[in-house]
Structure 1
Amino acid sequence: MGEPHTPETTLTTNLVGPALLILSSQRMLASQGSGTLIVLSSAAALRPREAILDYSIAKQGIDTLVRTTTASMTSQGVRTLLVRPGFVSTAMTAHLKPPPLSSTPSATGHQVAQALQSRKNVVWIPTKMRWVILVLKFLPRAVLPPH
Protein backbone atom coordinates (compact mmCIF):
# COMPACT_ATOMS: atom_id res chain seq x y z
CA MET A 1 0.00 0.00 0.00
CA GLY A 2 3.00 2.26 -0.40
CA GLU A 3 6.21 2.69 1.62
CA PRO A 4 6.49 4.87 3.54
CA HIS A 5 2.78 5.08 4.21
CA THR A 6 2.01 8.56 2.94
CA PRO A 7 -0.88 9.64 0.75
CA GLU A 8 1.57 10.54 -2.02
CA THR A 9 3.23 7.13 -2.16
CA THR A 10 -0.01 5.23 -1.79
CA LEU A 11 -1.74 7.21 -4.55
CA THR A 12 1.27 7.02 -6.86
CA THR A 13 1.66 3.27 -6.30
CA ASN A 14 -2.02 2.35 -6.51
CA LEU A 15 -3.56 5.00 -8.79
CA VAL A 16 -1.20 7.07 -10.93
CA GLY A 17 1.12 4.27 -12.05
CA PRO A 18 -1.61 1.70 -12.68
CA ALA A 19 -3.87 4.24 -14.45
CA LEU A 20 -1.09 5.17 -16.87
CA LEU A 21 -0.33 1.49 -17.45
CA ILE A 22 -4.01 0.69 -18.06
CA LEU A 23 -4.42 3.53 -20.57
CA SER A 24 -1.22 2.59 -22.37
CA SER A 25 -2.18 -1.10 -22.45
CA GLN A 26 -5.65 -0.28 -23.75
CA ARG A 27 -4.14 1.77 -26.59
CA MET A 28 -1.71 -1.02 -27.47
CA LEU A 29 -4.42 -3.71 -27.45
CA ALA A 30 -6.77 -1.47 -29.49
CA SER A 31 -4.04 -0.87 -32.07
CA GLN A 32 -3.69 -4.62 -32.58
CA GLY A 33 -7.48 -5.02 -32.68
CA SER A 34 -7.89 -7.48 -29.84
CA GLY A 35 -6.75 -8.55 -26.41
CA THR A 36 -7.78 -8.92 -22.81
CA LEU A 37 -6.66 -6.68 -19.98
CA ILE A 38 -7.01 -7.94 -16.40
CA VAL A 39 -7.12 -5.12 -13.86
CA LEU A 40 -6.88 -5.63 -10.10
CA SER A 41 -9.17 -3.33 -8.20
CA SER A 42 -10.41 -4.04 -4.68
CA ALA A 43 -13.57 -4.42 -2.67
CA ALA A 44 -12.28 -1.28 -0.90
CA ALA A 45 -13.11 0.68 -4.07
CA LEU A 46 -16.80 0.28 -3.37
CA ARG A 47 -16.77 0.49 0.41
CA PRO A 48 -13.84 2.63 1.55
CA ARG A 49 -12.75 2.71 5.17
CA GLU A 50 -10.93 5.51 6.95
CA ALA A 51 -8.14 3.17 8.07
CA ILE A 52 -7.15 2.60 4.41
CA LEU A 53 -8.59 5.76 2.87
CA ASP A 54 -5.72 6.55 0.47
CA TYR A 55 -5.70 2.99 -0.81
CA SER A 56 -9.50 3.01 -1.18
CA ILE A 57 -9.40 6.31 -3.11
CA ALA A 58 -6.76 4.91 -5.44
CA LYS A 59 -8.76 1.75 -6.07
CA GLN A 60 -11.92 3.82 -6.65
CA GLY A 61 -10.02 5.70 -9.35
CA ILE A 62 -8.83 2.51 -11.04
CA ASP A 63 -12.28 0.96 -10.79
CA THR A 64 -13.87 4.08 -12.31
CA LEU A 65 -11.30 4.26 -15.10
CA VAL A 66 -11.92 0.66 -16.13
CA ARG A 67 -15.71 0.84 -15.89
CA THR A 68 -15.74 4.09 -17.87
CA THR A 69 -13.48 2.89 -20.70
CA THR A 70 -14.85 -0.65 -21.03
CA ALA A 71 -17.53 0.17 -23.64
CA SER A 72 -15.19 2.09 -25.95
CA MET A 73 -12.52 -0.57 -25.57
CA THR A 74 -14.99 -3.37 -26.33
CA SER A 75 -15.89 -1.64 -29.59
CA GLN A 76 -12.15 -1.70 -30.45
CA GLY A 77 -11.80 -5.41 -29.73
CA VAL A 78 -10.37 -5.05 -26.24
CA ARG A 79 -11.89 -6.95 -23.35
CA THR A 80 -11.32 -5.84 -19.77
CA LEU A 81 -11.78 -8.00 -16.69
CA LEU A 82 -12.07 -5.99 -13.48
CA VAL A 83 -11.04 -8.07 -10.46
CA ARG A 84 -12.43 -6.97 -7.08
CA PRO A 85 -10.88 -9.10 -4.37
CA GLY A 86 -11.35 -8.67 -0.69
CA PHE A 87 -8.45 -9.52 1.61
CA VAL A 88 -5.88 -11.81 -0.01
CA SER A 89 -3.33 -13.55 2.22
CA THR A 90 0.05 -12.68 0.71
CA ALA A 91 3.52 -11.72 1.93
CA MET A 92 2.31 -8.09 1.97
CA THR A 93 -0.56 -8.95 4.33
CA ALA A 94 1.26 -11.60 6.40
CA HIS A 95 1.39 -9.31 9.44
CA LEU A 96 -2.41 -8.93 9.41
CA LYS A 97 -5.02 -11.32 10.74
CA PRO A 98 -7.05 -12.64 7.80
CA PRO A 99 -10.69 -11.54 8.12
CA PRO A 100 -13.68 -13.67 7.20
CA LEU A 101 -14.02 -14.21 3.44
CA SER A 102 -10.29 -13.80 2.89
CA SER A 103 -8.73 -15.52 -0.10
CA THR A 104 -5.38 -16.94 -1.15
CA PRO A 105 -3.39 -16.09 -4.28
CA SER A 106 -4.12 -19.51 -5.82
CA ALA A 107 -7.87 -19.28 -5.11
CA THR A 108 -7.87 -15.75 -6.53
CA GLY A 109 -6.05 -16.91 -9.67
CA HIS A 110 -8.49 -19.78 -10.10
CA GLN A 111 -11.48 -17.42 -9.92
CA VAL A 112 -9.85 -15.02 -12.39
CA ALA A 113 -9.29 -17.92 -14.82
CA GLN A 114 -12.94 -18.96 -14.46
CA ALA A 115 -14.08 -15.37 -15.07
CA LEU A 116 -11.97 -15.20 -18.21
CA GLN A 117 -13.50 -18.40 -19.54
CA SER A 118 -17.04 -17.26 -18.76
CA ARG A 119 -16.43 -13.87 -20.45
CA LYS A 120 -17.31 -11.86 -17.31
CA ASN A 121 -16.36 -8.18 -17.11
CA VAL A 122 -16.18 -8.10 -13.30
CA VAL A 123 -15.26 -10.80 -10.80
CA TRP A 124 -15.58 -10.55 -7.03
CA ILE A 125 -13.25 -12.69 -4.94
CA PRO A 126 -14.62 -14.51 -3.11
CA THR A 127 -17.98 -14.39 -4.92
CA LYS A 128 -19.84 -13.69 -1.66
CA MET A 129 -17.87 -10.44 -1.29
CA ARG A 130 -20.14 -8.80 -3.87
CA TRP A 131 -23.17 -9.27 -1.64
CA VAL A 132 -21.33 -8.29 1.54
CA ILE A 133 -20.20 -5.01 -0.04
CA LEU A 134 -23.70 -4.36 -1.37
CA VAL A 135 -25.12 -4.67 2.14
CA LEU A 136 -22.30 -2.60 3.66
CA LYS A 137 -22.88 0.21 1.15
CA PHE A 138 -26.36 0.74 2.58
CA LEU A 139 -25.48 0.47 6.26
CA PRO A 140 -24.81 3.76 8.05
CA ARG A 141 -21.12 4.24 8.86
CA ALA A 142 -21.99 4.76 12.52
CA VAL A 143 -22.93 1.07 12.93
CA LEU A 144 -19.67 -0.20 11.40
CA PRO A 145 -16.32 -0.48 13.16
CA PRO A 146 -13.76 2.15 12.03
CA HIS A 147 -11.17 -0.43 10.89
Structure 2
Amino acid sequence: MYPFFSKVAFTHRIYNNQLQEELLPFGISVTQWALIRYLKNNGPATFSDVADYWQVEKPAITPIAQKLAAREMISILSGEDKRQKIMYLSEKGEALHKTIMEATEPFLEELMEGISQEERDAVAIVLEKLIMNLKRRG
Protein backbone atom coordinates (compact mmCIF):
# COMPACT_ATOMS: atom_id res chain seq x y z
CA MET A 1 0.00 0.00 0.00
CA TYR A 2 2.82 2.44 0.78
CA PRO A 3 4.09 2.52 -2.82
CA PHE A 4 0.70 4.02 -3.75
CA PHE A 5 1.22 7.00 -1.44
CA SER A 6 4.83 7.40 -2.57
CA LYS A 7 3.63 7.56 -6.17
CA VAL A 8 0.98 10.14 -5.31
CA ALA A 9 3.56 12.29 -3.49
CA PHE A 10 6.14 11.90 -6.27
CA THR A 11 3.56 12.73 -8.95
CA HIS A 12 2.52 15.84 -7.05
CA ARG A 13 6.11 17.00 -6.61
CA ILE A 14 7.19 16.49 -10.21
CA TYR A 15 3.94 17.98 -11.54
CA ASN A 16 4.42 21.13 -9.42
CA ASN A 17 8.03 21.47 -10.56
CA GLN A 18 7.09 21.17 -14.22
CA LEU A 19 4.06 23.44 -13.82
CA GLN A 20 6.32 26.06 -12.22
CA GLU A 21 8.48 25.94 -15.36
CA GLU A 22 5.37 26.50 -17.50
CA LEU A 23 4.40 29.48 -15.34
CA LEU A 24 7.84 31.16 -15.37
CA PRO A 25 7.11 33.34 -18.42
CA PHE A 26 4.13 34.80 -16.55
CA GLY A 27 6.10 35.59 -13.40
CA ILE A 28 3.66 33.67 -11.28
CA SER A 29 4.13 30.83 -8.80
CA VAL A 30 2.19 27.58 -8.60
CA THR A 31 0.43 28.76 -5.43
CA GLN A 32 -0.45 32.13 -6.96
CA TRP A 33 -1.83 30.29 -9.97
CA ALA A 34 -3.82 28.04 -7.63
CA LEU A 35 -5.40 31.09 -5.97
CA ILE A 36 -6.29 32.62 -9.34
CA ARG A 37 -7.88 29.31 -10.41
CA TYR A 38 -9.74 29.03 -7.10
CA LEU A 39 -11.25 32.51 -7.49
CA LYS A 40 -12.07 31.89 -11.16
CA ASN A 41 -13.83 28.61 -10.36
CA ASN A 42 -15.49 29.59 -7.07
CA GLY A 43 -15.97 33.35 -7.26
CA PRO A 44 -15.13 35.84 -4.50
CA ALA A 45 -13.78 34.22 -1.36
CA THR A 46 -12.45 35.04 2.07
CA PHE A 47 -8.98 34.08 3.22
CA SER A 48 -10.68 31.51 5.47
CA ASP A 49 -12.58 29.97 2.54
CA VAL A 50 -9.33 29.36 0.66
CA ALA A 51 -7.44 28.20 3.76
CA ASP A 52 -10.19 25.68 4.55
CA TYR A 53 -10.23 24.41 0.97
CA TRP A 54 -6.43 24.10 0.82
CA GLN A 55 -6.25 22.70 4.36
CA VAL A 56 -3.71 25.32 5.49
CA GLU A 57 -3.65 28.00 8.17
CA LYS A 58 -5.25 31.32 7.18
CA PRO A 59 -1.96 33.29 7.50
CA ALA A 60 -0.49 31.12 4.72
CA ILE A 61 -2.89 32.76 2.25
CA THR A 62 -1.91 36.34 3.09
CA PRO A 63 1.45 36.63 1.24
CA ILE A 64 0.04 34.88 -1.83
CA ALA A 65 -2.95 37.23 -1.96
CA GLN A 66 -0.83 40.32 -1.27
CA LYS A 67 1.53 39.55 -4.15
CA LEU A 68 -1.39 39.10 -6.53
CA ALA A 69 -3.06 42.27 -5.25
CA ALA A 70 0.18 44.21 -5.77
CA ARG A 71 0.12 43.07 -9.40
CA GLU A 72 -3.59 43.99 -9.63
CA MET A 73 -4.57 40.40 -10.40
CA ILE A 74 -6.98 40.33 -7.49
CA SER A 75 -8.75 42.90 -5.33
CA ILE A 76 -9.02 42.52 -1.59
CA LEU A 77 -11.95 44.33 0.01
CA SER A 78 -13.41 44.38 3.49
CA GLY A 79 -16.58 42.42 4.10
CA GLU A 80 -19.50 43.46 6.29
CA ASP A 81 -17.27 42.64 9.24
CA LYS A 82 -14.26 44.92 8.69
CA ARG A 83 -11.91 42.16 9.89
CA GLN A 84 -13.09 39.91 7.08
CA LYS A 85 -11.25 40.34 3.78
CA ILE A 86 -12.81 39.16 0.53
CA MET A 87 -10.73 38.43 -2.56
CA TYR A 88 -12.05 39.04 -6.05
CA LEU A 89 -10.43 38.18 -9.36
CA SER A 90 -9.81 41.44 -11.26
CA GLU A 91 -10.13 41.97 -15.01
CA LYS A 92 -6.35 41.71 -15.21
CA GLY A 93 -6.54 38.44 -13.27
CA GLU A 94 -9.30 37.15 -15.57
CA ALA A 95 -7.14 37.93 -18.60
CA LEU A 96 -4.10 36.23 -17.05
CA HIS A 97 -6.20 33.16 -16.22
CA LYS A 98 -7.32 32.89 -19.85
CA THR A 99 -3.77 33.38 -21.16
CA ILE A 100 -2.26 30.79 -18.82
CA MET A 101 -5.02 28.26 -19.52
CA GLU A 102 -4.32 28.56 -23.25
CA ALA A 103 -0.54 28.44 -22.76
CA THR A 104 -0.57 25.39 -20.48
CA GLU A 105 -3.08 23.36 -22.50
CA PRO A 106 -0.35 21.59 -24.56
CA PHE A 107 1.56 20.77 -21.34
CA LEU A 108 -1.54 19.24 -19.74
CA GLU A 109 -2.44 17.33 -22.91
CA GLU A 110 1.08 15.91 -23.03
CA LEU A 111 0.78 14.75 -19.42
CA MET A 112 -2.46 12.91 -20.21
CA GLU A 113 -1.02 11.23 -23.30
CA GLY A 114 -1.79 7.51 -23.33
CA ILE A 115 -4.28 7.79 -20.45
CA SER A 116 -7.84 6.98 -21.46
CA GLN A 117 -10.84 8.91 -20.21
CA GLU A 118 -11.91 5.79 -18.33
CA GLU A 119 -8.52 5.68 -16.54
CA ARG A 120 -8.71 9.40 -15.75
CA ASP A 121 -12.18 8.97 -14.28
CA ALA A 122 -11.08 5.98 -12.19
CA VAL A 123 -8.10 7.85 -10.75
CA ALA A 124 -10.29 10.89 -10.01
CA ILE A 125 -12.72 8.66 -8.09
CA VAL A 126 -9.92 7.04 -6.08
CA LEU A 127 -8.33 10.39 -5.25
CA GLU A 128 -11.69 11.86 -4.22
CA LYS A 129 -12.31 8.92 -1.90
CA LEU A 130 -8.82 9.32 -0.45
CA ILE A 131 -9.47 13.03 0.17
CA MET A 132 -12.75 12.23 1.91
CA ASN A 133 -11.04 9.62 4.11
CA LEU A 134 -8.29 12.08 5.03
CA LYS A 135 -10.81 14.81 5.87
CA ARG A 136 -12.83 12.39 7.98
CA ARG A 137 -9.71 11.63 10.02
CA GLY A 138 -9.43 15.34 10.78
Q: TM-score range by the shorter chain?
A: under 0.3
Between structure 1 and structure 2, the one with the greater Rg is 2
TM-score (norm 1): 0.27
Higher helix share goes to which structure? Answer: 2
